[in-house]
């Protein structure tokens, strides 16, 4: 069931189908099919935030024990935690100790994303512990845990690798002693230091490529220290890059917690595991999925969907059977460019969507595990000078595509090509922007783990590097030369990074600039210049350059809507221009909506001709044998071997072309364009629809 919209129209299916105008009707298409660009568009009603002190959202905790630290990420709607206010926590009316680490704010100064740490007095096994998050004027505690307190307890975590006949080690304790300046969390309930430590041999020489990193999170009274351990092979311009095979041992408090023999560490990749020095609190955190989606931070999946228990059991069993060690990727498709509807594709991939909707601990384990394994892909390019993902602003001619001459910076006369491989550099994983899942965004949103943030940033940068410097306009980072679906998913990832990267991070302005550069390009090319009356992207992969893929175009339209939902209102003109195409396919009386999700559509007679004037003309050219028939009528259904009112393109499949179309139509409703809601109501009233409960990747509905 598709939220409230279904209740308005579920009984109207027969009425909608029987009242459609014949597909071959030439009259009226100019009025209904092409949406006026100067229409007065209704805007969504202004959201009224709750009053100060009111409940904003809730969190459910499950576990057992006393004095348990619980840290998680939380996004908020604009205005819910206004400028000057903070977050407080309550349980059964009583205040709970809470630490708020602010990471990002909305344009109005209200809180967007924070990492919250609760000090929970007691959890009973099997009994959910409900926590209300409220807006408050109360000051949050400012004191933080001292490094000296951690050291006094004897904390230590070490990484040992034996590579090329030499043993290299890295100590978290030594790294923290040398430099404790980089704080990620700071407060009395959780203080976290980010420490980078070279792996050194017995003589003190650092390995030129391998680097250890520790996320050291101390909790109250330093009874527990959570340690994220990573090893990276990802320096961008270090000479002689290659894979390295090594024996690995990770030791926490004198115990070996991870060991691998002959681990092959791929070039431009990294791995990470989390351990506890002291008892693991093992608390499960379930956030309010409806609230998370209402913030605009995440795709608006149908919150009424209930993930079946059988699906959750299958998730857990599949994860237990999957390869999930260092340099593995779990159930994700290793060859991203593979064709077909693999589970990775969508606004979020399958495992993220199931976790978001269910908030089940089994789904959480899989979603966060996949996010952690995202480090295994060869897409990581870190700048040794800044210790951050490499920047186009610093190296505008660096690229993964093009001839060597394309990478020569004329201002410096130096090539910005990456160094040639000096040994074995093969990898079983083939990344791709046209089929790229969002692997780390949701994990960062709900955990606040710095590792996931950097994964998101690395993938965002890799998408920019995959375009020739000249085509992307060098440091501008334009994505338009790619396939339409590659543009869609790359813009989605760029938008996620621009939205959620902390305000104090230097990459915040970098991603905002790249996003706005793309907005300016698209707005000029499509809204101002308006190269076609249909609202389609200018990429033609079919019919010798005369046809395009509506489903790819729909991916792009959804991305426009998601950017607007996240608060990037400058993208609204592009959303309004793009939404015309998906709305027209559902409502133009000269275009039968049964074919709205066709695999390909000719939009001009030949590659040398101008676009068709409207969708009615495109329909007559593409589907001449159906012209004159009642759209969705019995004769058409017989010819198509479908049920009356059944759309073509595998309408019953959650990965069919109508399903691919659904997110675009949902954000078209949010645009407020004329006929958008009529198109949506027709779409959800059709008699053959998929069951999204176990595969919700495309179960997006209007906000």
Determine the average pLDDT of the residues in 192-196.
98
Determine the average pLDDT of the residues in 449-466.
97
Spatial distance between the Cα atoms of 93 and 50, rounded to a whole number of angstroms: 17
Lowest mean per-residue pLDDT among 169-178, 420-429, 534-543, 694-703: 534-543
pLDDT at 533 over 60: yes
Lowest mean per-residue pLDDT among 35-49, 305-319, 452-466: 35-49
If we measure between CA atoms, which residue out of 163, 233, 242 comes closest to residue 422?
242
Band (pLDDT 50/70/90 cuts) for residue 4 is very low
* Enclosing H/E stretch for 663: helix 657-671
Band (pLDDT 50/70/90 cuts) for residue 45 is low
Q: In 3-state terms, what secondary structure has residue 293?
A: helix
Spatial distance between the Cα atoms of 608 and 214, rounded to a whole number of angstroms: 58
Band (pLDDT 50/70/90 cuts) for residue 453 is very high
Q: For residue 377, report the phi and psi dihedrals to the nearest 5 degrees.
A: -75, 145
H-assigned helices in 523-633: 550-565, 572-587, 615-622
pLDDT (tens digit, 9 = 90+) per residue, 104-143? Answer: 999 999 999 999 999 999 999 999 999 999 999 977 777 8
- Long-range pairs, 472-477, Cβ under 8 A, ≥24: 473/517, 474/392, 474/396, 474/397, 475/392, 475/393, 475/396, 476/514, 476/517, 476/521, 477/392, 477/514, 477/517, 477/518
pLDDT (tens digit, 9 = 90+) per residue, 371-400? Answer: 999 999 999 999 999 999 999 999 999 999
What does the pLDDT read at residue 184?
98
Contact between residue 79 and residue 47 where contact means Cβ atoms under 8 Å apart: yes
pLDDT at 215 over 50: yes
Residue 652 has a CB neighbour count (10 Å cut-off) of 14
Q: Regarding beta strands 94-96 and 86-91, do their DSSP bridges make them parallel or antiparallel, or are they unpaired?
A: antiparallel
- CB-facing half-sphere around the CA of 378: CA atoms within 13 A: 18
Residues of the chain above pLDDT 90, percent:
88
Summary mean pLDDT of the chain:
92
Spatial distance between the Cα atoms of 703 and 700, rounded to a whole number of angstroms: 9
What does the pLDDT read at residue 402?
81
Residue 139 has a CB neighbour count (10 Å cut-off) of 7
DSSP class of residue 570?
G
What does the pLDDT read at residue 46?
62
What does the pLDDT read at residue 340?
82
What does the pLDDT read at residue 356?
98
Q: In 3-state terms, what secondary structure has residue 260?
A: strand
What does the pLDDT read at residue 546?
95
Lowest mean per-residue pLDDT among 83-97, 138-152, 447-461: 138-152
What does the pLDDT read at residue 532?
92
Between 285 and 2, the more confident residue is 285
End-to-end CA distance of the chain: 15
If we measure between CA atoms, which residue out of 567, 557, 563, 558 comes closest to residue 537?
557
Band (pLDDT 50/70/90 cuts) for residue 28 is very low
pLDDT (tens digit, 9 = 90+) per residue, 337-368? Answer: 998 888 999 999 999 999 999 999 999 999 99
Spatial distance between the Cα atoms of 138 and 85, rounded to a whole number of angstroms: 8
Spatial distance between the Cα atoms of 398 and 467, rounded to a whole number of angstroms: 10
Contact between residue 225 and residue 172 where contact means Cβ atoms under 8 Å apart: no
What does the pLDDT read at residue 48?
80
Q: Regarding beta strands 55-62 and 86-91, do their DSSP bridges make them parallel or antiparallel, or are they unpaired?
A: unpaired
If we measure between CA atoms, which residue out of 259, 289, 237 comes closest to residue 415?
237
Determine the average pLDDT of the residues in 36-51.
56
Q: How far is CA 205 from CA 168, 174, 356, in A?
A: 9, 15, 45
What does the pLDDT read at residue 13?
35
* Enclosing H/E stretch for 355: helix 350-358
pLDDT (tens digit, 9 = 90+) per residue, 484-493? Answer: 999 999 999 9
Determine the average pLDDT of the residues in 627-643.
96
Residue 625 has a CB neighbour count (10 Å cut-off) of 8
Determine the average pLDDT of the residues in 219-235.
93
pTM of the model: 0.93
Calculate helix-pair angle for 572-587, 676-684, nearest 10 degrees. 50
pLDDT at 570 over 70: yes
Spatial distance between the Cα atoms of 462 and 399, rounded to a whole number of angstroms: 9
Could you tell me which residues are beta bridge partners of residue 196?
213
Determine the average pLDDT of the residues in 623-639.
96
Q: In 3-state terms, what secondary structure has residue 380?
A: coil
* Enclosing H/E stretch for 358: helix 350-358
């Amino acid at each position: 069931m598709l939220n409230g919209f279904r209740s308005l129209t579920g009984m109207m299916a027969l009425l909608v189908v029987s009242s459609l105008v014949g597909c071959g009707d030439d009259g009226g298409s100019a009025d209904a099919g092409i949406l006026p660009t100067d229409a007065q568009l209704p805007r969504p009603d202004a959201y009224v935030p709750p009053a100060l002190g009111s409940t904003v959202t809730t969190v459910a905790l499950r576990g057992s024990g006393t004095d348990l630290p619980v840290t998680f990420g939380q996004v908020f709607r604009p205005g819910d935690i206004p400028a000057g206010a903070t977050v407080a926590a309550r349980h059964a009316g009583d205040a709970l100790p809470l630490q708020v680490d602010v990471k990002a704010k909305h344009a109005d100064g209200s809180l967007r994303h924070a990492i919250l740490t609760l000090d929970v007095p007691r959890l009973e096994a099997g009994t959910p512990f409900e926590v209300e998050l409220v807006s408050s004027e109360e000051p949050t505690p400012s004191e933080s845990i001292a490094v000296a307190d951690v050291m006094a307890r004897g904390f230590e975590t070490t990484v040992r690798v034996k590579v090329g006949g030499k043993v290299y080690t890295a100590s978290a304790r030594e790294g923290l002693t040398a430099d404790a300046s980089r704080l990620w969390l700071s407060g009395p309930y959780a203080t976290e230091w980010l420490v980078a430590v070279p792996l050194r041999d017995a003589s003190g020489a650092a390995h030129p490529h391998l680097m250890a990193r520790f996320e050291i999170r101390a909790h109250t009274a330093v009874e527990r220290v959570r340690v994220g351990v990573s090893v990276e092979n990802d320096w961008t311009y270090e000479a002689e890059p290659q894979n390295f095979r090594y024996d690995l041992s990770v030791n926490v408090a004198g115990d070996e917690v991870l060991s691998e023999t002959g681990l092959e560490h791929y070039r431009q990749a990294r791995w990470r595991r989390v351990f506890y020095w002291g008892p693991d609190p093992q608390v499960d955190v379930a956030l309010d999925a409806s609230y998370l989606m209402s913030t605009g931070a995440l795709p608006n999946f149908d919150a009424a969907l209930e993930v079946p228990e059988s699906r959750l059991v299958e998730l857990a069993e599949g994860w237990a059977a999957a390869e999930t060690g260092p340099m593995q990727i779990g159930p994700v498709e290793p060859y991203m460019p593979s064709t077909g509807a693999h589970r990775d594709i969508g606004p979020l991939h399958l495992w993220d969507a199931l976790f978001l909707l269910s908030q089940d601990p089994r789904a959480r384990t899989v979603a966060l595990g996949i996010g952690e394994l995202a480090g295994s892909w060869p897409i990581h390019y870190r700048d040794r000078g800044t210790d951050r993902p490499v920047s186009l602003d610093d190296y505008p001619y660096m690229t993964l595509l093009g001839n060597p001459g394309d990478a020569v910076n004329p201002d410096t006369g130096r090539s910005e090509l990456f160094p040639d491989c000096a040994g074995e550099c093969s990898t079983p994983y083939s990344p791709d922007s046209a089929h790229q899942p969002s692997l780390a965004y949701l994990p960062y949103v709900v955990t606040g783990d710095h590792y996931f943030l950097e994964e998101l940033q690395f993938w965002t940068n890799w998408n920019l590097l995959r375009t020739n410097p000249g085509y992307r306009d060098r440091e501008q980072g334009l994505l338009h030369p790619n396939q339409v679906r590659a543009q869609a998913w790359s813009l989605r990832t760029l938008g996620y990074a621009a939205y959620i990267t902390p305000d104090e991070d230097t990459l915040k302005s970098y991603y905002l600039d790249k996003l706005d550069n793309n907005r300016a390009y698209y707005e000029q090319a499509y809204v101002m210049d308006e190269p076609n009356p249909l609202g389609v992207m200018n990429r033609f992969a079919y019919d010798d350059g005369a046809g395009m893929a509506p489903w790819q175009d729909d991916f792009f339209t959804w991305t426009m809507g998601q950017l607007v939902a996240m608060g990037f209102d400058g993208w609204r003109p592009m959303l309004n221009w793009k939404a015309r195409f998906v709305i027209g396919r559902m409502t133009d009386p000269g275009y039968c909506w049964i074919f709205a999700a066709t695999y390909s559509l000719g939009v001009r007679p030949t590659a040398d001709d101008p676009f068709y004037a409207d969708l009615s003309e495109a329909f007559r050219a593409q589907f001449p044998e159906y012209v004159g028939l009642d759209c969705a009528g019995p004769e058409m259904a017989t010819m198509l071997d479908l049920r009356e009112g059944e759309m073509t393109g595998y309408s019953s499949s959650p990965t069919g072309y109508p399903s691919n179309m659904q997110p675009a139509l949902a954000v078209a409703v949010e645009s407020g364009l004329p006929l958008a809601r009529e198109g949506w109501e027709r779409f959800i009233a059709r008699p053959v629809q998929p069951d999204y409960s176990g595969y919700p990747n495309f179960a997006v509905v209007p906000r």
